[in-house]
Every structure is written in C-alpha cells, then in structure tokens.
Amino acid sequence: MILTVTLNTALDLTYGVSALVPHTSHRVGDISERPGGKGLNVARVLSALGHETVVTGFAGGATGAVLRELLADLSPRDALVPVAGNTRRTIAVVDASTGDTTQLNEPGPRVSADEWAAFLVTYEKLLAGADAVALCGSLPPGIHVGAYAELVRIARATEVPVLLDTSGEPLRRGIAARPDLIKPNADELAQLTGSRDPLRATRDARRRGAHGVIASLGADGMLAVTPEGAWRAAPPDLVAGNPTGAGDSAVAGLLSGLVEGLSWPDRLRRAVALSTATVLAPAAGEFDRAAYEELLSRVGIEEQAPAV
C-alpha cells in the first residue's frame, strides 16, 4: 500500500472559457469538480496505475463533505481526519484560446492542536501497512511550520520510504529531517538554495539533507540527483493544455517506480511521461492513458556528471 498525506485538501473546480478577458463577464463551458490537493491527485494516479492507495489528511465542513462523497466513487481509500473548519476550494480557469490556466487557491481551514494530535494517531497507524508515503502540498492555518519535518522523522523511524513535495519554510525544515526524496520545481529549488542552475541547486539540496532530489523543470522535463547517480529526463515534444496536477502525476510515477523496484532511468521515464500526459487531460489527478503509453518509450534520458 502507498500512503499519501494531504494536510490541506481541496475541492478542485475547473472552468473552461473560450477566452479569459480581465474586467468582463464570462460564460463557462466545461465544468469539472474533483477531490483535490496534491496528495489526492497523486493517489488517483497511483490507483490508475494499479497500486493500492490510501489518502489521509484533513477534511471538514460542507466542502469537505462534498470532497469525501466524490472520493467515495474513486479507488483511493479515504482515511481523512475530520476537522471543524471548512475544506478549501481551488478554482482553475482554462482559457481555450491560449491553453493557459489561471489558478485561485483558498487558504484552508484552521486546524486545532487536538485535530493535529488525532491526525498523528491516524498517520502512525497507516504507516504500519505502508510501502511508501508521500507528504504533499501546503500547510493549512494552525499547523506548525515544522509539521513535515515531524512526519518525515516518524516515517523514517518506521523505515517507510518518504517523499516530500512542498515548498518554502516547510520544505526547508522538512529537508533537514532527511527525507528519502524531495520533488521541488525550479522556483522552489531556487528559493531553497539561492541558485538558478538546476544541477548546482539540486546537488546543494542533497547536501542539506535529502537523500535524492528530483527537480521538475517544466517543459524541460526532470533532473534527478541521487546516491546512485544523476540523470536528466525530457519529454519528446512540447504540449499545450492544463498543467494543473502535472507535478503530482510525476510524484505518482516516482513513488510507483520506487515500490516496484524500477531503475532510476525507468522511474524518470514514467514520471515525465505521466506528467506530460496529465497536461493533455482535462483535470488534475487524471492523465491521458494513450498519450502516456505512447510517450513512455520516447522520453529521453541523459546521464549527468557524477555529483560533487
């Protein structure tokens, strides 16, 4: 079983408009409503790949009830912890004329000390049956900034491989707890290390505590620096579409590859192919399966110079 943690779950709303024009009203065409937050997106892709997956984190209020109702119809098992506050919504507006997406993210409910304590009990119980765990996304109000570092230490104490996918100070503190993997994007990596050179920044992030660092480089693919070596993977073609959730699909590819014992080049091929196929899908947590299978053999892999 693969466990995903989403402390700040969301109800994802995606609106399609013919063209997004500021200061005007719009007629919405396509509408989708999905249970969201990074870890839930990861779990849905893992389930589509055939992995048993459990989701935990927080859900509450009327929005949380809708999220859990939608989740009940999907494959990941719901182990979310209830909170008094209302789960946030995220709104993605997709402009059909350009392919661009505008994202609006609410902050999330305030989590109390008692609710955090209840979550920790659930988390430790779930880890007992987990082959790997992903800690994903932002922290809701009320959760201390070192929360991910705490969760990384708990996972490592139980010898469960842990992937951390967050940003800012939670990433900075979490990396010091020595997660097995982190997956920042280029901006998050630059914020962490102060360097805009991907290879230098990725190596610096390893020195800060992460065993392996996989950097998402957008259309340029992914860069991995690990104890076994360093590789860059790139999609064969540029694609246009909705990039929301592409990084989450990459996390699913990395986690599934880890659990299946794939080599690092094959993990990266899967992660990049899934990420690219997600851009072609209408909503986060989904991927175009035909595109994924076609892309898998066409992702380019280049070995990088040994880490210094």
Active site residue 114: no
Name the packing angle between helices 186-193 and 168-175 (round to 10°): 70
Catalytic one of 12, 248, 266, 288: 248
DSSP secondary structure of 83-94: ESSPPEEEEEEE
Is the separation of the CB atoms in 213 and 205 below 8 Å?
yes
∠ CA 53-59-65, nearest 5°, is 100
DSSP secondary structure of 183-228: --BHHHHHHHHS---HHHHHHHHHHTT-SEEEEE-GGG-EEEEETT
The number of beta carbons lying within 10 Å of the beta carbon of residue 42 is 34
Cα separation, 129 vs 134, in Å, equals 14
Is the separation of the CB atoms in 39 and 169 below 8 Å?
no
Indicate which residues carry an active-site annotation. Answer: 248
